[in-house]
Amino acid sequence: MEVISSTQEMQQKALALKRHGRTISCVPTMGFLHEGHLSLIRAARTSADILVVTIFVNPAQFGPTEDLSSYPRDLKHDLAICEKEGVDVVFTPGTADIYPEGYSTYIEETDLSKGLCGATRPGHFRGVTTVVAKLFNIVQPDSAFFGRKDYQQLCVIKKMVKDLNIPIRIIGCPIVREDDGLAMSSRNKNLNPDERKEALCLRRALLRAEELVGAGEKDAAVIRESMVNIIEKEPSARIDYIEIRDGETLELVDRVEEGTLIALAVFIGKTRLIDNILI
C-alpha cells in the first residue's frame, strides 16, 4: 500500500494508471475510519483495479463555531485498517496541499444544498463540493463511494457531478449501525457514556416514524411530532432539525409516501449527530 500526501504525486500516479488502462475507485473520507467506511472500502474494492482512500479533514466544510479542532483523528489506526482491507493507495494531503495560500475557487450547488444540514450549517456543502471536486481531479476515479447516512451530501455530490459533466459514477452505500442501532459516525467517539445511551433516541425516533407509516399514518406533521416527543425526553438532546422531504428533490412534503426521506440532526451534548430513513 502506498501513502501519498503530495497532490501532484497523487495526480501523476492516477493519470499514469489511467494511461495504462487501469480503472480507479475512490472512497473520500475524513479519517477515523469505522465499519461504515469499511463497507464503502469493501464495495469500492471490487469495482475497479485500483482503490484509493482519501483521508482529509476538510476545514472548508466546518463553520467557525463547529468541531473542526475536536474532530477525531487517528492516522496510524486508519492506515492499518486500509492496509488490512487491501487498499492500494491512501491519499493524505495536508491543509496547505489542498488550500495553498491564495486559494480562491469554490464550487457551490445551489438547490439541494439549501435545506436540512445546509440550513443549519451555512457554507458546509460549499466546502464539501469544493473538496470533493478537487479530490476527483487529483485522484481521477471512475467511481466514488459515499454513505447514505449523509443522505443530503450524497444528493448534492450526485447533482454536482451531473451539472458539471464529471465522468464519475457516484455510488451510495447503506447506513451501517452499531448493534444497538446507533448509526456509525466518527463523532460517536466524542459521546460520554450517558450521552452514548441518549444518542439512541435518533434511531428510536426513526423507528417510531417507520412504525406509524407502517400503520397507515401519512400526515408528515403527525409523524414529525411523534419524533420530537421521543427526542425531547432525553436531557442532553437538542433538536437541530427533524424534516420530512421528498427523497429525490429534497423538497418538504406534507404526506409521507414511498420515496419520502425522514431525516434528523440532533445535538447530544456538544456532539451533532445525523440519521435518516427512506420510506
Report the residue number, 139 or 206, with the smaller CB distance to ligand PAF. Answer: 139
Minimum gap (Å) between residue 38 Cβ and ligand PAF: 14
Minimum CB separation of residue 165 from ligand PAF in Å reads: 20
R_g (Cα) of the chain, nearest Å: 19
Does residue 37 have an active-site annotation? yes
CA atoms of 73 and 164, how far apart (whole Å)? 32
Nearer to ligand PAF, 30 or 79 (CB): 30
Question: Residue 93: how many CA atoms within 13 Å on its side-chain side?
Answer: 23
Cβ-based nearer residue to ligand PAF, 117 or 237: 117
Instruction: Estimate to the nearest angstrom the gap between the alpha carbon of 172 and the chain centroid.
Output: 10
Separate counts of helices (H) and strands (E) for the chain: 10, 9
Least distance from ligand PAF to the Cβ atom of residue 10, Å: 15
Q: Is 276 exposed, middle or buried (0-12, 13-18, 19+ CB in 10 A)?
A: buried
Local structure of 166: helix, strand or coil: coil
Cβ of residue 213: shortest distance to ligand PAF, in angstroms?
Answer: 28
Would you tell me which residues interact with ligand PAF (CB under 6 A)?
Answer: 28-30, 58, 61, 128, 131-132, 150, 153
Nearest 5°: the CA angle 96, 98, 100 is 45
Of 175 and 220, the one with the shorter C-beta distance to ligand PAF is 175
Which helix or strand (DSSP H or E) is residue 19 part of?
helix 7-19
124 or 224: whose CB is closer to ligand PAF? 124
CB within 8 Å of 80: residues ≥ 6 apart? none
Given 34, 37, 77, 124, the catalytic residue: 37
Which residue, 30, 59, 27, is CA-closest to 130? 59
Find residue 26's DSSP bridge partners: 52, 144
d(CA 248, CA 17): 35
Give the shortest CB-130-to-ligand PAF separation in angstroms. Answer: 9
- CB of 200 within 8 A of CB of 181? yes
Q: Between the CA of residue 37 and those of 172, 184, 212, what are the distances in Å?
A: 12, 9, 31
CB-nearer residue toward ligand PAF: 125 or 220: 125
CB of 56 to ligand PAF, least distance (A): 6
Q: Catalogue the active-site residues.
A: 37
